[in-house]
Amino acid sequence: MTTSRTRLFCLLGDPVDHSISPQIFTRAFEACGMDAAYLAFRVPGSSLGKAIAGLRALGVAGCNVTVPHKIAVMSHLDSLDRAAMEIGAANVIKMENGMAVGYNTDGDGALMALRRSDLSGKVVALVGYGGAARGVAYAIASSKDPGEVVISGRDRAKAESLAQRLASLFAVKSRSVSIEGLKEAAPDVLVNATPLGMKPWVDKSPVDADVLRAGMVVFDLVYNPTETRLIKEARAIGCTTIGGLDMLVGQAAAAFEIWTGERAPLEEMEKAASEAVAKGGAGE
């Protein structure tokens, strides 16, 4: 039940009708007994500035930002935390005394998903160089002591640009390879940070199956379907597989803690996410 003091949180994206964030956050607020509500708003790019002004005018407490606004939203904010600034994308906004402050919690989510994987000295390859890839790559480079971070994708120049930025920001060896060059790079850990595997690309994998080796860790950011083609092929070969749902819940938990200053009810959020996906929800 809402009251006249209910704090409103929301999601801005386009599209948003597949999002399971309302289920995850509603459960979290209920579990903590908070008088708060969460709504998803579909906002086209041309209205993003007006939407942020609306958040300020209405006193909305905070919001998540999803595809395609994570980069564009930054120009509408008053300040950015260090991770958002370094990554060059914001997926969380907290309204603080009328000021909109941007954060990036994708990296926190990735670290949570990878919490059981020792990446120390390992070759970690990411396919993709977009907003999520940057968050994941920065988190791995800054916290997981990898031997090398390899960036790959269909545009080699964009992959190289992220590799160079990683090498300049962190004491990490980093380079780009073409998709065809991935097999030779012999990654110990492979991360899919492209939408390949989700609708409408459910029959696609970001890499040929011959890149996969038994014992490799394969982390797919796509979580709906939870069993992507990549995850199925990797499991069949004997890889350790990690789906995107752990990261989704991890980045949501980090957002909850930024907004409320309280510890996130992780188990409840995980349950809400699994139930929502089982019922056919699909996205951030």
Ligand X SMILES: NC(=O)c1ccc[n+]([C@@H]2O[C@H](COP(=O)([O-])OP(=O)(O)OC[C@H]3O[C@@H](n4cnc5c(N)ncnc54)[C@H](OP(=O)(O)O)[C@@H]3O)[C@@H](O)[C@H]2O)c1
Instruction: Give catalytic residue positions.
Output: 70
Q: Which is nearer to ligand X, 62 or 131 (CB)?
A: 131
Q: Which stretch binds ligand X (CB under 6 A): 54-62, 76-84, 187-195, 258-266?
A: 187-195
Site size for ligand X (CB under 6 A):
27
Q: Which residue is nearest to ligand X (CB)?
A: 130
Residue 153 in contact with ligand X, rule: CB under 6 A: yes
H-assigned helices in the chain: 21-31, 48-58, 82-87, 106-113, 131-143, 156-169, 182-185, 229-237, 245-260, 266-278
Residue 132 in contact with ligand X, rule: CB under 6 A: yes
Answer for which of 216, 222, 231, 254 binds ligand X (CB under 6 A) is 222
Task: Produce one character per residue of 144-178: b if its CB has 16 or more CB atoms within 10 Å, e if not.
Answer: bebebbbbbbeebebbbebbebbeeebebebbbbe
Residue 193 in contact with ligand X, rule: CB under 6 A: yes
Q: Which is nearer to ligand X, 11 or 222 (CB)?
A: 222
Q: C-alpha angle with apex 6: 50 to 18, nearest 5 degrees?
A: 60
End-to-end CA distance of the chain: 24
Q: Which is nearer to ligand X, 62 or 206 (CB)?
A: 206
CB 81 within 8 A of CB 104: yes
Tokens of 55: 């958040």
Q: Which is nearer to ligand X, 109 or 146 (CB)?
A: 109
Residue 195 in contact with ligand X, rule: CB under 6 A: yes
Contacts of 260 (CB under 8 A, 6+ apart): 32, 34
Q: Which is nearer to ligand X, 228 or 260 (CB)?
A: 228
Answer for which of 128, 146, 187, 281 binds ligand X (CB under 6 A) is 128
Question: Angle at which helices 245-260 and 21-31 pack, to 10 degrees?
Answer: 50
Answer for which of 22, 62, 109, 265 binds ligand X (CB under 6 A) is 109
- Residues forming contacts to ligand X in the complex (CB under 6 A) are 67, 70, 106, 109, 128-133, 153-155, 158, 193-196, 198, 221-223, 244, 247-248, 251, 284
